[in-house]
Amino acid sequence: MKRLLIVAVFALAASACGEEQGSTSGQEQATRELREAQKDLRTERRKLRAEGRKRRKKESSGGSDDSGGSAGGNGSGEGVPDVEGKDHQLAQDTMQAAGFYNISEEDATGQDRLLINDRGWTVESQSPKAGTRASPDRTIVLRSRKDGE
């Protein structure tokens, strides 16, 4: 949510640039775009949570996970999900659905840019690697590159 708030502030500020003081059409457009992005994010998070619940239920009932055991999140040190090649926002959601909330993000180009709009970046590498058993408090580092670069 903190990231959405930052995106909202930047979107509103950007829409205000170049607009006359009395005009709100840019702000209205930015607000609509932000609401649509929030809706998409909520939908994706619901899907990821449902997948995580199914996976945990299957694991607790003694079933095997046919995805290679690369996710989970019951707090006992599960495998880290594979998020390389995924949209950065989706990668964060996937990690959180698996129980990993201590996530650090880096610009993979070495330019030390901040990933303000997570949807415009793709994960190039992650640490620890996918499938590595890790405790939920371990820091997960996602190195991403801006789309189109």
Q: Contact, 146 vs 120, CB < 8 A?
A: yes
Name the nearest CA neighbour of 15 among 4, 2, 1, 31: 31
Instruction: Say which residue the tokens 């649509």 belong to.
Output: 36
Burial label for 79, CB within 10 Å (0-12, 13-18, 19+), is buried
Q: What does each C-alpha distance from 82 to 53, 73, 128 come to in angstroms?
A: 18, 14, 10
One pLDDT digit (tens) per residue for the chain, 149 residues: 445 445 555 655 555 554 444 456 777 887 888 788 777 877 787 788 777 777 777 666 665 444 444 334 444 557 899 999 999 999 999 999 999 999 999 999 999 888 888 788 999 999 999 999 998 889 999 999 999 88
Q: How much is the pTM?
A: 0.52
Answer whether CATH 3.40.640.10 is correct for domain 2-146.
no
Domain spans, the chain = 2-146
